[in-house]
């Protein structure tokens, strides 16, 4: 008995309730990035002797996540995902994995899947599906609808997604107020040339794709006629230029850098054009 008591006393220092305020880290918003799945996925695949084809990564867009949280809020009161929410989730779910594999091709009769978010598992999911039967977070998945419902009914999953959306709202995409990471004109010219070479190739590929199918699509003709812009992402040295998305151009867009007439702006800003016209629009008082 005495020995057990001594062991109990010794173990008190490992119990949180014995810790002083000074011993607890003052971090109200701890980061769990190192505890996410993605950094450890290669080790998990290796240790479990899985093939890379057994793992599929799907990036959930914010539009899908917003739909999911709305459906999740409704399911709290009804204990089931409604038919309209289920249809909205199916419509909003990404069509391809990060390896460009059709998501629909992954679900067939002889295949069962385990799913989790990068941030957490979905083991607490519990819901009544549209057929009236119960499902839970540990059951294998065989349909995309089951995956939607698993994500929607998991409190852990919906909380993690809500935190990510909040963080996304706080992130600032444009960083024009920060110093440029390149310090010399020579470096800027070298990196700029690499980016421009990559952009020209992507531009040629876009135009070829728009012209190449020969189906006479009116939207493609309009796009080629009015012009377009596109976003790319590169490595810091300007290499590996990748296509992100296509955008409309000029006055057709209501926001972003496409709103400006780049050629005209350049002539004015850099002195190529001497005359500057300034117009003011005022409301009529008549």
229 in any annotated domain = yes
Taking CA atoms, 79 is separated from 83, 87, 121, 263, 269, in Å, by: 13, 17, 20, 58, 61
177 in any annotated domain = no
State the pLDDT at residue 89.
92
268 in any annotated domain = no
236 in any annotated domain = yes
State the pLDDT at residue 52.
83
State the pLDDT at residue 219.
63
pLDDT in tens, 44-71: 888 888 888 889 999 998 889 999 999 9
Number of compact structural domains in the chain: 2
82 in any annotated domain = yes
Task: Using the predicted structure, report yes or no on whether residue 100 has a pLDDT greater than 70.
Answer: yes
Task: Using the predicted structure, report yes or no on whether residue 257 has a pLDDT greater than 60.
Answer: no
Do residues 159 and 65 share a domain?
yes
State the pLDDT at residue 53.
84
Do residues 166 and 61 share a domain?
yes
Burial class (CB in 10 A: 0-12, 13-18, 19+), 151: buried
Task: Using the predicted structure, report yes or no on whether residue 5 has a pLDDT greater than 60.
Answer: no
pLDDT classification of 110: cutoffs 50, 70, 90 = confident
Do residues 148 and 66 share a domain?
yes
Q: Which of 131, 147, 170 is the last residue of a domain?
A: 170
Q: Which of 111, 142, 170 is the last residue of a domain?
A: 170
Q: What percent of the chain has pLDDT over 70?
A: 65
State the pLDDT at residue 42.
87
Do residues 162 and 82 share a domain?
yes
125 in any annotated domain = yes
Phi, psi angle pair for 230, to nearest 5°: -150, 155
Task: Using the predicted structure, report yes or no on whether residue 262 has a pLDDT greater than 80.
Answer: no
Q: How many CB atoms lie within 10 A of CB 122?
A: 24
Do residues 89 and 118 share a domain?
yes
Cα–Cα distance measured from residue 162 to residue 248, given in angstroms and rounded to the nearest whole number: 31
State the pLDDT at residue 194.
92
Q: What is the mean pLDDT of residues 202-214?
A: 80
Do residues 66 and 153 share a domain?
yes
Question: Model-level pTM greater than 0.95?
Answer: no
Residues of the domain holding 209: 185-250
State the pLDDT at residue 67.
92
Cα–Cα distance measured from residue 127 to residue 248, given in angstroms and rounded to the nearest whole number: 43
Do residues 194 and 239 share a domain?
yes
More confident residue, 281 or 137: 281
State the pLDDT at residue 117.
93
Mean pLDDT, the chain, integer: 77
State the pLDDT at residue 138.
73
Do residues 62 and 149 share a domain?
yes
pLDDT classification of 21: cutoffs 50, 70, 90 = low
pLDDT classification of 173: cutoffs 50, 70, 90 = low
Q: What is the mean pLDDT of residues 99-109?
A: 87
The mean-pLDDT minimum among 38-42, 81-85, 118-122, 129-133 falls in 129-133
70 in any annotated domain = yes
Do residues 190 and 165 share a domain?
no
pLDDT classification of 231: cutoffs 50, 70, 90 = confident
State the pLDDT at residue 200.
92
Do residues 153 and 214 share a domain?
no
Do residues 240 and 161 share a domain?
no
235 in any annotated domain = yes
Do residues 193 and 159 share a domain?
no
């Amino acid at each position: 008995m005495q020995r057990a008591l001594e062991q109990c006393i010794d173990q008190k220092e490992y119990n949180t309730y014995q810790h002083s305020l000074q011993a607890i880290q003052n971090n109200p918003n701890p980061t769990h990035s190192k505890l996410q799945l993605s950094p450890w996925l290669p080790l998990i695949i290796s240790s479990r002797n899985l093939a890379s084809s057994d793992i599929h990564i799907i990036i959930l867009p914010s539009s899908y996540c917003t739909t999911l949280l709305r459906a999740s809020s409704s399911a709290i009161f009804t204990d089931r995902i409604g038919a309209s929410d289920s249809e909205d989730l199916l419509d909003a779910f990404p069509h391809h994995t990060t390896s460009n594999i059709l998501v629909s091709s992954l679900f067939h009769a002889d295949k069962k899947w385990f799913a989790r978010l990068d941030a957490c598992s979905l083991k607490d999911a519990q819901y009544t599906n549209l057929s009236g039967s119960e499902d839970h977070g540990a059951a294998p998945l065989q349909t995309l609808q089951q995956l939607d419902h698993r994500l929607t009914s998991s409190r852990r999953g919906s909380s993690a997604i809500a935190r990510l959306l909040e963080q996304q709202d706080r992130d600032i995409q444009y960083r024009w107020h920060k110093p440029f990471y390149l310090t010399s004109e020579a470096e800027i010219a070298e990196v700029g040339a690499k980016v421009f070479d990559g952009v020209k190739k992507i531009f040629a590929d876009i135009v070829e794709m728009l012209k190449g199918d020969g189906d006479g699509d009116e939207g493609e003709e309009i796009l080629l006629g009015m012009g377009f812009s596109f976003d790319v992402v590169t490595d810091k040295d300007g290499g590996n230029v990748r296509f992100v998305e296509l955008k409309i151009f000029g006055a057709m867009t209501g926001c972003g850098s496409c709103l400006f007439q780049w050629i005209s702006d350049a002539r004015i800003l850099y002195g190529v054009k001497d005359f500057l016209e300034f117009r003011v629009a005022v409301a009529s008082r008549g």
